Structure formats: structure tokens, C-alpha cells
Amino acid sequence: MKAKLNWNGRMAFSGETESGHHVLLDAGEENGGANKGPRPTEVLLNAAAVCTGMDIVMILEKMRFTIDGFHIEIDGTRAENHPRRFTEIAITYHIDGELPEDKVVRAIKLSRDTYCTVVNSLNAEIQYKYVLNGEESNTVKS
């Protein structure tokens, strides 16, 4: 996989993904940017959430379950000192439908442990929570 990004001045970079989509990333004004696009760290968190979400949808659909609604909340904690990497990431899944809890937990674990390239490329401790039929679960443990 390759990417090429061009500097647009100040802190902004734009480019095209290998799949042909345009991206624009920038910093906030407090960091020398013009706030014309999301921060790289914001994109990283969104990528982690979506990567696992796509896996979970695919796994549950292969199990022949129907998802009625699905949204994800992700919260990243960063170190105080540079490089200010993520030290902890918590992902909360809100999945609606007639879904057996054990199957949802299995889908989350398969994504986390086997399929999600983005999450498995990170070095943060990631916590997973989900809401199934309005009931919040405990964190999914290894």
C-alpha cells in the first residue's frame, strides 16, 4: 500500500489514497495550521474504530445475523510527553438488533485479535465495550 501527499503550506498536506480518494490533513491554528482538515491523530482513531466496525459487521453477517443499527465511540488518551503517542484507546460499540451476546463478543475478539490491521498496528492498550439491545456490557477481555 502506498500514499503520496503534498505539502500545501503551513501544516496542511493533501494527497490521494491508493483507492483514489482525496485526503486533506491539517493542524489547528494553535499548532501552526489553518484547521482545513482533520488532525492525523483524529484520522488514526477514526480508522481504528471503522476498521473494527467493518470487521464486526462482516463477521455478524457471515453468522447470518441482522444488525439494525450500529455506531461506535472511541476515546484516545495520549502521553503528556513527546511523541505523545496513544497510551490507551477505549472503543465502545452500540449495536442494535436481535444479536446473541456471545456472538457479538466473538466478533469483537476476532476483529481485535485477528482481522483489524489498524488496531493491530497500534501499541496502545485498547479497551472494548459494547451496548447490545440497550444494555452496556463489561469490557471485552482477552
Question: Which tens digit of pLDDT belongs to each residue from 36-88?
Answer: 999 999 999 999 999 999 999 999 999 999 999 999 999 999 999 999 999 99
Q: CA angle 73-3-57, nearest 5°?
A: 35
CA quadruple 43, 84, 112, 96: dihedral, nearest 10: -50
Split at pLDDT 50, 70, 90, the class of 142 is low
Buried b (16+ CB within 10 A) or exposed e, 38-50: ebeeeebbebbbe
Side-chain-side CA neighbours of 13 within 13 Å: the count stands at 11
Split at pLDDT 50, 70, 90, the class of 136 is confident
- Top-confidence residue, 140 or 19: 19
User: Quick check: pTM over 0.85?
Assistant: yes
CA distances (Å), origin 80, targets 47, 69, 101, 127: 23, 36, 37, 20
Which position has the grid cell 446473541?
Answer: 100
For residue 68, with 0-12 CB atoms within 10 Å meaning exposed, 13-18 middle and 19 or more buried, which class applies?
exposed
Identify the weakest region by mean pLDDT among 15-24, 77-86, 120-129: 120-129
Share of the chain above pLDDT 70, in %: 97
